[in-house]
Amino acid sequence: MRFRVYDQAIAHIDDRLFGQFLERASWGEPGPEVALQPGTRHIQPAAVALMKEMNIPLIRFPGGTDVDFIDWRDLISNVPGRGRERPITIGHRGQEITNQFGLDEYFQLRDQLGVETILVVNVLDALARRQPLAAAAQQAAGLVAYVNVPVGTTLPPGMPDWPAVRQANGHPEPYRVEYIQIGNEIWMGGFRQRVQAGTGLSDPAALAQWYVQCLRAYIQAIDAVDPNVNLILDGTLGWEMEQTVLSDPLLRRRIKYLAFHRYAPGRVQAVTQDGQPVPLRSLSAADWWYAWVAMPGHFSSASGVNEGVAPQIQLAQSLGYQVAVTEWNWNGWGFDALAPPPALDWPVAAGIGAAGFLNGLMRHGDQIAIACQSLLIGATWDITSIRVDPTAQTRPYFLPQGQVTRLYSNHHGSTLLKVDASEVPRYRQPLAMGWTQSPKAEIAWVDLVVTADDDRIYVHAINRKFDEDLAISLDLSALPALDRWAIQYGFTQPLAPNPDRRLQAGKITQTPLPVRHNRLRVRLPQRSVSIVEIPRV
């Protein structure tokens, strides 16, 4: 397989593509709530050290599905009329979360890591008329006042003095949050049922008009306290609302980013092909592997490579928005319950699937400015980047998705370079499973992008082959003044099953490679991700 790299930048690569989502979920995975050093409100120091290794540029906090079912004031102390202590919060499934890791604790972590922040505010209170619209909008704006407004600022009539509360909680200076996301995944079925029940509206046109009214109220309330904060809105609305809502002039002027989420495959209970059930005993380890590494994301039938969220980009661009993928990951479960279970452990495939999605994000670097891998830290869900022991008796460690994003975040350039590929074979993936994993006609064995900065060239290459190393030839002759040696960073795992498949399932390797006459031959191990770093001179 041959790849020719040109000295031609075709897109900007934003560091914010390698962000993380620090979710506090009330069900299944409380995230930072179970990652605290026992007896404190602070994340275990060893876990913070791993976060620093990830070179995280941006974190989204605190939710997630729960954010539209909770009161942000539960996450702080000294709320007027409530006393110093924080209450127990009840999430959207009726389960409790303690609020030991709240807003002020998050911002202490933020300062340790040096990251930007997306905060998500509750919009369901307004949409489902659980509160009067003006009250719900002002409550969301109160969060913005708490984090971004200086002490002593005149606030809108009736709003508590949130900057003074922040000062009482030990932080007189504003936190200066960069991004506010209004609501989360309003297209979900349960969300829609609550809106319809609360409003009595079922006609899509009427729902769209009500949603625009709510969003306008939120924007006006937020602008009354901070007119400069960047605003993010779900780009997937459902209910036949997208064109009506997203074309609204105020939204197009004030909302900067449309958010899209992408997970795959979700819970797997069965597998089909061409609409017919597939006997699980007929599936080999390689069959499972080739399905798993082809997710998440959109694969171009023309090129066979991952293009991230390409179908959604057209809508955002046509209306003048940028794209923020505020949740994404290879997210699958239920395999152990299948009869028989897959013959191959899946975590390394999950890491390689995550790498494919990162390649897809970079291919659209001019349209996608922000991405947050879900989930940064936890003790239960197998999508966490960092796994912790709630008792702090065992040291935290990376899961494969976190290992891969750490690799990319530390080794990428600021521009995407043009690459011509030839002789790259493809395969067909015929299986459907889970939420969104559909058959794909063309998937390249090697998915490759090249990025660059002033100091280095970075070749990001994925070998999806289950049982074969592959060789690629890189023609770098168009690039001036390269060093004679490169380093190949690799993520891979031997075929033998890991006794504890979740315990640091992948490994990271480093291999020196000679560069001869600006040409480079690279061996890509089977089932691997490589980033080849070539210094400029």
Q: How far apart are CA 187 and CA 241, in angstroms?
A: 10
CB contact set of 441 (below 8 Å; sequence gap of 6+): 301, 428
Q: Calculate the dihedral angle through the C-alpha atoms of 22, 26, 27, 31, rounding to the nearest 10 degrees.
A: 30
Q: How far apart are CA 144 and CA 121, in angstroms?
A: 9
Pairing of strands 519-524, 470-475: antiparallel
Which residue, 518, 414, 514, is CA-closest to 474?
518
Per-residue pLDDT of the chain (537 residues; tens, 9 = 90+): 999 999 999 999 999 999 999 999 999 999 999 999 999 999 999 999 999 999 999 999 999 999 999 999 999 999 999 888 899 999 888 899 999 999 999 999 999 999 999 999 999 999 999 999 999 999 999 999 999 999 999 999 999 999 999 999 999 999 999 999 999 998 887 888 899 999 999 898 999 999 999 999 999 999 999 999 999 999 998 767 888 999 999 999 999 999 999 999 999 999 999 999 999 999 999 999 999 999 999 999 889 999 999 988 998 999 999 999 999 999 999 998 999 989 887 889 999 999 999 999 999 999 999 999 999 999 999 999 999 999 999 999 999 999 999 999 999 999 999 999 999 999 999 999 998 678 998 999 999 999 999 999 999 999 999 999 999 999 999 999 999 999 999 998 755 555 554 456 788 999 999 999 999 999 999 999 999 999 999
Strand partners, 457: 452, 534
- Cα 500 from chain centroid (whole Å): 26
Which residue, 480, 494, 497, is CA-closest to 537?
480
Q: What is the DSSP letter of 300?
A: P
Which residue, 410, 290, 314, 308, is CA-closest to 359?
308
